[in-house]
Structures are given as C-alpha cells and as structure tokens.
Amino acid sequence: MEEIQKLKQKILEEYPRLTEDDTFRFACKPGIPCFNDCCGDVNIFLTPYDVLRMKNRLDISSEEFLDRFTISPIDQNQNFPVLMLKMQDNEKKSCHFVSAEGCIIYDDRPWACRYYPVGLASSKEGESEAASEFYFILREDVCRGFDADKDWRISEWKTDQGIARYDEFGEMFKEITLHNYFKQGKQLDIPRMELFHMVCYNLDKFRRFIKESTFLNRFELEPGLTEKIMADDEELLRFGFRWLKFALFAEKTITIRPEAFRG
C-alpha cells in the first residue's frame, strides 16, 4: 500500500495533466514483443462493477469469486474495505485470466485494465472532485505499445475500450467513498464495514439479505423495484449504493414503512 501511495504522489507532482482532447500513441495486440508481460505482478484494485462483471462472466457466485480471485489489503488509514485482484502463485505472479492469446475475459476485464495506459487522477478529493480530475499516461519500461503507429485521442480510447458503463457505476461508487462523512474524519465501525463489503462486493449475499431478512417489511421500495433487484445484478448494485447512503450516512434515500416504527 505504501508503494501505491508513493505512485499517487508522483502522479500528482510529476505527470503531465491531460484532458479528453489530448492524444497519445499506443497499441496492445499479439505480435508486440511485450504482449502479456504487463499481466502479472501488478496491483489491480477492483470496483464493485468489476466484481459484478467478472463473476458473471465466469458464471460463479460472488462468494466463489471473492475467495478464489481477490485479496483484501488492510491499512489502518483506510476508510472502507477494498479489493485487489489476486495473482497466481508462480514465478511471474501471472493474472489468473491471462493466456498466450491474451485476456480470456477481455469483454469483462476490470476498469483499470480497460483504461491502461491512460490513468485518471484527482488533484483533490471532495466536492470539487470532478473539476479537479485529470488524465495521465502511465509509461512503463516493459511496455513496447508506445512504439506503435496508432494515435488516440483520450476520448476515442475511452469509447474504444468500453469505459462508459464502468464510469457510470464508478461515479456512484465515488459518491460513497468520497462522502463528506469521511472528509470529516469519521470512520466506519466493524458492522458497517461488513455491510459495505457485502453490498459492494458480495451481491449474491446482499440479495439473500434483502429476500430472507425483514428488509422488505421494514422498507418501502418503488413499484417493480423488488422484482428488478431480485433478477438483475446491475439494478441490485444501483440500489445497493442508495442503501449504503441510508445505512452508513443516514441519508433519506430509502423510505421506512410506517408499520416498522410501530414494530
């Protein structure tokens, strides 16, 4: 975690700050000498939407995906649980999803893999997050993709890599992780940390929680929403972000049934 913090500081201090209209030269495909070399011994943080897409692509449960393919680094200064993609226990510390032909889950690869070599950073956190965001190019010595003859505008790269859906859910996630609650120096207790982890990363468990507990008796959902969240992971995650604002920060994003007060 300390190395990651150092990289963040270096990006803020040294990297040129780019906009969507800036261009860069890059290509990644079979035949480039370094193809697949970047898919190992790398720290890839997973967003909730990454986990959703990857576990569904593999057709496994959230629990199985978390157990087999993720680790949860612990830092005394972190405000909420984070997940990283677990590498294989081999000499190259290879990604579990890399093959000689490339990524075997390419259409559902994580946000960080899609953006690469473009990065997204912010000079400050909080209410001005969007205004302070900037792009940068992460150049690594091992990468020969920068020798290619293909030029990209950053906006074109984002479209080509299918970033829009990931950014949509990423913005909802940032409303939680950059909440004023944390800016004020407050921290989540263990039960709320566990709630955060369940809602963001273990959708199957969250769905069971809604279905099997007294949740639906205590809270009034919009017509048709219960059916949607029971059937669709994206709808469930959207609702989960709403629920976290209620459960963690006491925002009035969910309606309590009057009878729940009487109970």
For the segment 60-115, what is each residue's pLDDT rounded down to a tens digit? 999 999 999 999 987 777 889 999 999 999 998 999 999 988 999 999 999 999 99
Residue of 252, 49, 77 lying closest to 163 (CA atoms) = 49
Q: What is the pLDDT of residue 1?
A: 54
Provide CB contacts within 8 A for 83, sequence distance 6+. Answer: 45, 46, 51, 66, 70, 71, 72, 201
**What pLDDT does 56 receive?**
98
Confidence (pLDDT) at 129: 53
pLDDT of residue 127 exceeding 50: no
Contact 244, 237 (CB under 8 A): no
Q: Are the C-beta atoms of 135 and 20 separated by less than 8 Å?
A: yes
Tell me what the mean pLDDT of segment 238-250 comes to: 97
* pTM across the whole model: 0.91
Token pair of 134 as six digits: 């900037």
Tokens 């729940």, located at residue: 260
Q: What tens digit of pLDDT does each residue of 35-66 get?
A: 888 888 999 999 999 999 999 999 999 999 99
Q: d(Cα 82, Cα 71) in Å, to the nearest integer? A: 9
pLDDT digits (tens, 9 = 90+) for 188-197: 999 999 999 9
Residue 218 tokens read as 């205590």
